[in-house]
Amino acid sequence: MEIKLELITHMNLSEIKQLLDAEYLWDSKNDPEIAFIMGSDMMSDVLAHTEPRSLLVTGLISTQTVRTADVADIAGVIYVRGKLPDQQTVDLATELGIPLLSTKLGMFDVCGILHSSGLKGAC
């Protein structure tokens, strides 16, 4: 039996940035509306289980996160634990128009804060 989650809350990425005391890694001027979050370092899980226009929360800082976000129609990526991707990853995200952020918080805390703010998990 498949359970469909009802959309309760949407937040703009700029609101999420403030909640998590995060920083943009490039100035996308794109403030997408987020309804779901997907916390994972396994990009195969992201491809298999995420909802379109979700926010990807990850500690994986390779170009693979941006490529996965593009294929899975992810609205933005936030890196946890203060991790910062290399310039090649930032350049790819810029080219594809995918906002990147970084926060010093861990994945558990980020997902907990966003869930308690009304966002639902993507799977």
Instruction: Read off the pTM.
Output: 0.90
pLDDT at residue 7 is higher than 80 = no
Residue 67: φ, ψ to 5°: -65, -40
pLDDT (tens digit, 9 = 90+) per residue, 66-121? 999 999 999 999 999 999 999 999 999 999 999 999 999 999 999 999 999 989 88
Q: What are the strands, taking DSSP E only, across 1-123?
A: 11-12, 23-24, 33-34, 36-39, 55-58, 76-79, 100-102, 120-121
- The C-alpha atoms of residue 13 and residue 34 are separated, in whole angstroms, by 7
Superfamily per CATH, domain 11-121: HprK N-terminal domain-like (3.40.1390.20)
Could you state, in order of their start, the residue ranges of all structural domains in the chain? 11-121
